[in-house]
Structures are given as C-alpha cells and as structure tokens.
Amino acid sequence: MPCREQILSDETYDYITNLSMDVAGISDPSLCYHQIDNLFTLLYLPRDRYPDMRSNFYPFQSIPKLFGLMQLDSSGDPAASSLTQPVFDPLALSISGITAISGPPLGLTGAGVLIAIIDTGVNFADPVFQDENGRSKILSIWDQTLEDASPPEGFAFGSEFTEEQINEAIRSGTPYQMIPSRDPYNHGTVMASLAAGSELPTGYVGAAKDASLIVVKCKEAKANLKDYYLVPQQAVCYQENDLMLAIQYCERFAAQKRMPLVVCLGMGTNMGDHSGSLFLGQYLNYVANIRERAVVVCGGNEGNAGHHFQGSTKEGPVNVEIRVDNNVNGFMLEFWGDLPDIFTLGIRSAGGENIPSVPLYASQSIQYDFVFEPTRITVDNSLVESSSGRQLVRVRMEKPTPGIWTLLVDNMGAVQNGGFQMYLPITELLSAPVYFLTPSPDITLTEPSLAEDVFSVTAYNPANQSIAVFSGRGYSSNGRIRPDFAAPGVDVATISGRRSGSSIGAALTAGALAQFYQWAVVEGNNPYVKSREVKSFFLRGATRQTGLTYPNRQWGFGQLNIQGAFERMR
C-alpha cells in the first residue's frame, strides 16, 4: 500500500514516537513513516499486523490526542455559520493597543510577516484576504483533505496550492472550481481574518492588515482514533500528528521565504497531564525557540465546563461523583496521581453496582462488565507515565448508564502527598453532558497552551473587562505560570458576526505579534529576536487592573496591550 494510502486509511493506526526508526528497532521497509525535524517519527501501523489500540500495548504519549475547536458564537453554540456582511467594532483592536501602533508614528501593520493558521481551512476568495490590488494575502494553502493536486514537497498526502494558483483562481471569477478548498466550519476563516484581514470598504480590518498568511486545512481525525477515545463519529476534531505535520510545513515555508513566522492554534484538548508535556507541546516549544518565530495557543473554553476534579487523599479516601446525561455513548477519563503515592480506584455505577478498589501497581489493563447494566469499563494503569513520571489511570466507559457514577480514590500504604487530578473530555468530544458534581475551575487550560514557550492566551470581555466565564484557568499542573495574558474573546466582531472563545483572543494576539515582528525583524530594530524576549516585552506591557495581584490563575500577567509593550521600551 503506498504511503499516502497508509496515512489516510482507517486500516492503519497512527503512532508518534520521539525515537528514530533505528533506535526504535523498526526495520519493516513497507512501513510508512515521516520524520519531524529529527525530533519525532510519525508511523502508520497496519491494523492487521499490530495489536489493537485498546490493548494497552501502546504508550500513552504515542497515541495521537484529539483536539477540538475553541470558538463559540454569542449564544454559546459552536460557530458554523456562513460569512455575512461584517459590522466592524474596533473595541477589541483598540483596547489591545493594536490600533494605536498601526498608525503614526510606528505604522505597524504586520507587513513582511507570515501568520500560520492551522485549522479548518479558509474561504480564500473573500475580499478580506486580498490587498488593495486584488492580490491574495495567502501565500500558500495545504489542504490535507484533498487529493486533487500535488502534496507539498516532502509530504505524502493532501494538496498544496501556491500563491500564483490562488491569484489565478481569484481572477477567474470561479475560484472554488479551480481550487476546491473551502472552510466548512468557518473557524479558520474567522481566525485568519481577525489576525490579518485586509481593510474592507465596510470598515472591517484585522489586527495586522498587511501581514501574509499561510493556511493548513487539517484533515479530521480517523474513525479508529475516535473509536478508541469513545468520541462520537460526528464530532469535529483533529489529531495530534496531523497538527505536527502542519506546523513543520509552515516552518519550512517561512524558512524558504526568509520571513518571520507567527503560528496560531485555536484548538485544545483535556488529554494529558496539563504540564505541556504532550509531543505536540514539545514540538511547539522547539519551533518557538527558533529565531524570528512565535507560537500562540488559545487556552480553551473549559473553565466552567465541570471537566476537572482536583483532590487529595491526605484526609482519607475521596468519593468523586460524575453526572452522566442520557445519550452518552461513552467517554474516557484520565486520572493523574502525584508522586510518590500509589493510588487505587474503585467504581460505583449509577445503578448501584460496585467494582471494589483494585491495587494498581504496574502497567495493567482490567476490564469489567456489569450484570444489570450495559456498561463496560476498561481501566488501564501506568504506574509511571513516561513524560511526567506520574501515575496515569485511563478509564474507558462504554455505554454508561445515565445518572451519578462514583469513583473511590484511595492510597496504597501511607499517604505521602495524596494529590491527584481527573479530567473528562472537552465539551466538543462528548455526545451529551458529562461533568463532575464538585469540579475545580483551576488548571483547566487545555493542551497545548500549557507548553512552556508558547504564548498561552485566555479570553476576556472587552466591553466590561471581566474574564470570560468559559475561559480556561491556570496554572499548569506542575505550577508553571499559565496563562501568559488574556485577550478580547467575548462578543468580538468578526466577518461572520460576533464570536466568542479563547481562539478569538489567540487570533488577535497573533496579529499583535506580527506587528511586533515587523518592527523588530522586518524593519531591523531587533533582527535576531527570540520568542522568549518578545514574550517578556508583552508581559511587561500588559494592562493590569487595580485590586488584583499578578500573575494570577485567570489573567496571567494581565490583558494584551502591545502599545504598552512599546511604551515599556522607552
């Protein structure tokens, strides 16, 4: 089977490792694989020759995680409407200092800077993505879902459309017949226009109106991954290895063009220990530490979702109650136990059946079938998860009975620390509501916004300067200061109506960073600047409200204010 077919086929398992093929001992010449900058290897394993994904054979880090979109409309529903006539409201730009530095004397509009939107694609023919001469601001599109044209050089699937092809399609008058790449959910289109939309006659303008764009339309997650994570097949989500490929493509393109690059991600997941240790987060850190690069990641919309529980067994066993609504086909819960304790887990079903606490000493998988209920539970334990060293227990609940489920958490032996975290899937990956009855709103930022060197951005309401109720909160599970700051993300005017969500704040931040990189790199004021230096400028310039102590779990170091960053340089 050709490599392209192996990548796209549901008959292969996608696998990520931080080992080379030689070190991993893989010598199968028929196996499809792809190297990510000598850091990671992406493998595609035929299902008929490798163990079932549910067998506990594969390390936690190596199974690609699933990421959902982090944008809401004003009613709180996922945004999927078509483009409408934009009504421009400059508040989000002005309160962030973007408007002030786009005019004299600085005149920073993102010219010469490349912004990467890795998302659901882009409606490339919209005038908001064209300059005053009608030429596209989009320098390249990699559509991972199309096989109509050639893939990018060095990649095995999808179709790449160049700047020349995009402009030719726009001039033809039938652009989508020539390039059949569109944004079915409008998420990527909204983010791209917020970050770098050209000024329209209606008055609408993006944060960095003269910045260039590179867009990757990610293919949606495979059915076998959704089955493994018990995610509904109709759920819109994307897998970790495809995002890593998209980032590598954008970095290579920027290097060829010799342009500063700002990568913007508007997706998130609750999978992982919430310390930034996922392979995707590690790769984002690597890219962020290349000179003239920056990575912006939204902090997610899980602050008030009830999907995080934080507890301690120091005072004895802890009962953790979970409400499962009707029509929940299944879900996977992650339990992360702090060192050096070893935890046990018991389960009481909504119907009253009990699974007694089981000692979880080493890597093992235990399956339970209930007598009076259709539920099947699989408990996979890793006493030492490789990236964090913590105990990880994954609980797969298939066809859970509606009602209140109780998990009994206890210790093996004397309690040393007793702390633990539990995470349910993000809202977008559930078929119906599932939530903890006594959740914690803290440590609810989604991955990969917890990676150390990315710009981690939450959302606030610019109209009353209050934090968004849905916005994820810090810190990281290992105490790192996250988020970095908050940006406007509630009822923000876009070319598709008003939208809310942490991805909105991330897109505006990406535009502000393009302004900074124009000043620093394109205009030569600090041509070898690195992302950590830029972050220091932004954190110093952030707006801080009186009466609050900074940094804090909701605001990080304050509110995005790029004008303040320049004022601190005086």
In a structure prediction context, what are the per-residue pLDDT tens digits for the chain, which is 570 residues long? 789 999 999 999 999 999 876 666 666 778 899 999 989 999 999 999 999 988 878 999 999 999 999 987 543 333 333 344 556 889 999 999 999 999 999 999 999 999 999 999 999 999 999 999 999 999 999 999 999 899 999 999 999 999 999 999 999 999 999 999 999 999 999 999 999 999 988 889 999 999 999 999 999 999 999 999 999 999 999 999 999 999 999 999 999 999 999 999 999 999 999 999 999 999 999 999 999 999 999 999 999 999 999 999 999 999 999 999 999 999 999 999 999 999 999 999 999 999 888 766 667 788 998 888 899 999 999 888 888 889 999 999 999 999 999 999 999 888 888 999 999 999 999 999 999 999 999 999 999 999 999 999 999 999 999 999 999 999 999 999 999 999 999 999 999 889 999 999 999 999 999 999 999 999 999 999 999 999 999 999 999 999 999 999 999 999 999 999 999 887
Give the per-residue pLDDT at 80: 35
Residue 568 DSSP label: T
Q: For the chain, which residues make up each domain, given as ranges? A: 3-50, 72-303+446-567, 308-436
Task: Lay out the sheet containing 318-324: strands in order across.
Answer: 354-359, 343-348, 403-411, 318-324, 434-436
Q: Do domains 72-303+446-567 and 308-436 have the same CATH topology?
A: no
CB within 8 A of 230, min separation 6: which ones?
329, 330, 331, 332, 396, 397, 398
Give the per-residue pLDDT at 486: 98
Q: Report d(CA 252, CA 262) in Å as an integer.
A: 13
Secondary structure class of 256 (helix, strand, coil):
helix
The two three-digit tokens of residue 408, written as one number: 């009994």
User: Which residues on adjacent β-strands are paired with residue 159?
Assistant: 143
Give the per-residue pLDDT at 396: 96
Q: Are 180 and 490 in contact (CB under 8 A)?
A: no
Domain boundaries 72-303+446-567, CATH class: alpha beta
Q: Are 273 and 392 in contact (CB under 8 A)?
A: yes
Give the per-residue pLDDT at 79: 38
Q: What angle in degrees, to the nearest 10, is found between the helix axes of 279-288 and 240-257?
A: 10
Fold (CATH) for 308-436: Jelly Rolls (2.60.120)
Say if strands 72-73 and 497-500 run parallel, antiparallel, or are unpaired: antiparallel
